Amino acid sequence: MIDLVQLRREPDFVKAALARRGVSPATMDEIIALDVEHRELLQEAERLRAEVKFLSRLVGEANRDKDTATAATLTEKSRGLGENERVATEAMERVGSKLRDELLTIPNVPDPGVPDGVDENDNVELRRWWPGMDEGRPFPEFADHQKVPHWDAALELGILDLEAGARIAGSMFPLFRGAGSRLIRSLSALSLDRNAGVYEEIHPPTFALTATMMSTGHLPKSVDEMYGIERDGLWAIPTAEVPLTSMHADEILDEASLPIRLCAETACFRREAGAAGRDTRGVLRVHEFDKVELFAYCTPEQGSAAFDDILARAESLLQELGLTYRLLNLCTGDLGTSSARTIDLEVFSPGVDRWLEVSSVSWFRDYQARRAHVRYRTSDGTTALVHTVNGSALGWARVWAALIETYRQKDGSVVLPEVLAPYMGKARTIRPKAS
């Protein structure tokens, strides 16, 4: 959630910043009014509670002095104040609940460096990378045999069975097989190995409680995108960011332990409810996919370096895989609810002639930590909220598609980059079934 203290101290600044994200000043004025009402009711309830406590002490003294008349009078007055305190407390809790519900829908304050915009069309390209760029090679020109969509190329190779996946779970649940399945596993192993030693590997649950989903901001805003298990009060995670954010929920960390860097490889589940009819072929948009996530708890001063490190690691993987990619600075209209700043990495996939998002690196500042109650104790003994940073390294379904298309040969085989050989049993070449 946004910082209420900042809203009270700098209402005009916060309203102007959130207006860049489409939040009307009138909405923020309503929240400010609710906050004032809540604090007034809280003060009134506390005042009445103190009076009741004071009267209770006087009743005890009167009873000790055997002054029954005074004790009875004071008891009656205490009961009346107690009823008033109960009413004030209920009103305070009701307004507080409404205030919290309103705050849960308000997005994070955007970083000043985030460009203004309405949607993905207003994102700003920062730079591109392609193999040989440093040696002066121009942007790659792809041959006709590389311009075959991965769903056709994979069918020839026998490594992707979308029909079987649909029979098992419905459309947009892909089934990888043989070398296609091993490629997914190899990509995760490569990423985990590259980040080992700096990022502690975690194998978290793939289901989360509602409170856990609320901590990251996926609920209530994106409820239609999530897979819920109502019977058990659980949700299938859309990203390992969800469990990693709540690993230290309700804890106070030592400042000396920060940054805490974590990584996890998990299945991710998304309903893609807002994308009906789009990218339904192949694995460009699926309900389930594997992903390695990098995550950091840090101090505000460490946030920028943590962000840059995760971004550099995601880029390094794409460069090792020899994939052409670009970086996009997401505009205010395309930022996720919890993010203050996000840079997307998109690979170019020649078979579909498109840029495909394979990673989002985001700095959430203290927005998620405020929801999850993750704090740290500073050297002077005070406590403060941590900042959280995360990014994919990487999301494999689209990377898989880009690899199959980019490295397709004239005979229909696919020769994978050398870096994957140790994980593919040294069999870098995937050949058509007829070979």
The b-or-e profile of 213-247 (16+ CB within 10 A means b, else e) is: bbbbbbbebbeebbeeeeeeebbbbbbbbbbbbbb
How far are the Cα atoms of 24, 86, 115, 336 from residue 21, in angstroms, in the given order?
9, 40, 11, 10
For 151-172, the pLDDT digits (tens) are 999 999 999 999 999 999 999 9
pLDDT of residue 222: 92
Question: To the nearest whole number, what is the mean pLDDT of the chain?
Answer: 95
- DSSP E strand stretches across 175-259: 200-202, 207-209, 227-229, 234-236, 252-254
- Written as six digits, the tokens of 321 are 């895989």
- Model confidence at 115, pLDDT cuts 50, 70, 90, reads very high
Look at residue 427 and tell me whether its pLDDT is greater than 70: yes
pLDDT of residue 274: 64
Superfamily of domain 4-103: Serine-tRNA synthetase, tRNA binding domain (1.10.287.40)
Look at residue 236 and tell me whether its pLDDT is greater than 50: yes
- Written as six digits, the tokens of 110 are 């955007």
Under 8 Å between Cβ of 338 and 368: yes
- Written as six digits, the tokens of 263 are 């990584």
What DSSP letter does each residue of 396-428 carry, written as one string? HHHHHHHHHHHTB-TTS-EE--GGGGGGTTT--
CA dist 8 and 36 (Å) reads 9
Residue whose entry in the numeric block shows the structure tokens 């490889």:
265
CA dist 402 and 323 (Å) reads 8
Look at residue 376 and tell me whether its pLDDT is greater than 80: yes
Main-chain phi, psi angles of 283, to 5 degrees: -120, 25
- pLDDT, mean of residues 426-431: 90
Residue whose entry in the numeric block shows the structure tokens 């709540």:
246
List, in sequence order, every residue forming a beta bridge with 267; answer none if it has no partner.
Answer: 290
pLDDT of residue 433: 75
How far are the Cα atoms of 187, 196, 200, 427 from residue 419, in angstroms, in the given order?
10, 16, 22, 12
The residues, ordered by sequence, that sit 6+ positions from 340 with a Cβ below 8 Å of its Cβ are: 108, 109, 110, 111, 114, 362, 363, 364, 365, 367
- 3-state secondary structure (DSSP) of residue 394: strand
Q: What share of the chain has pLDDT > 70, as a percent?
A: 98
- The CATH code that applies to domain 120-430 is 3.30.930.10
pLDDT of residue 47: 95
Residue whose entry in the numeric block shows the structure tokens 């419905």:
170
The model's pTM = 0.93
- Model confidence at 435, pLDDT cuts 50, 70, 90, reads very low
pLDDT of residue 149: 97
- Kindly give the pairing relationship between strand 260-269 and strand 200-202: parallel
- Count the neighbouring beta carbons within 10 Å of the beta carbon of residue 142: 16
pLDDT of residue 434: 61
Q: How many CA atoms lie within 13 A of 137 on its CB side?
A: 12
Look at residue 150 and tell me whether its pLDDT is greater than 70: yes
Q: How many CA atoms lie within 13 A of 8 on its CB side?
A: 8
List, in sequence order, every residue forming a beta bridge with 362; answer none if it has no partner.
Answer: 342, 390
pLDDT of residue 238: 97
pLDDT of residue 277: 61
- Whether the ω angle into residue 220 lies within 30 degrees of 0, i.e. cis, is yes
pLDDT of residue 276: 60
- Written as six digits, the tokens of 290 are 């594997």
CA dist 211 and 218 (Å) reads 10
For residue 91, count CB atoms less than 10 angstroms from its CB and return exposed for 0-12, middle for 13-18, buried for 19 or more: middle
Q: What are the domain boundaries of the chain? A: 4-103, 120-430
- pLDDT, mean of residues 62-79: 89
Q: Give which of 405, 404, 320, 312 is closest to 359, Cα–Cα.
A: 312
CA dist 306 and 265 (Å) reads 19
4-103 and 120-430 have identical folds = no
For 260-310, the pLDDT digits (tens) are 999 999 999 999 876 666 677 899 999 999 999 999 999 999 999 999 999
Q: How many CA atoms lie within 13 A of 313 on its CB side?
A: 28
List, in sequence order, every residue forming a beta bridge with 252; answer none if it has no partner.
Answer: 375
Under 8 Å between Cβ of 347 and 337: no
Under 8 Å between Cβ of 214 and 368: no
- pLDDT, mean of residues 403-412: 97
The residues, ordered by sequence, that sit 6+ positions from 130 with a Cβ below 8 Å of its Cβ are: 137, 139, 140, 324, 325
Integer Rg of the chain from CA: 28
pLDDT of residue 280: 77
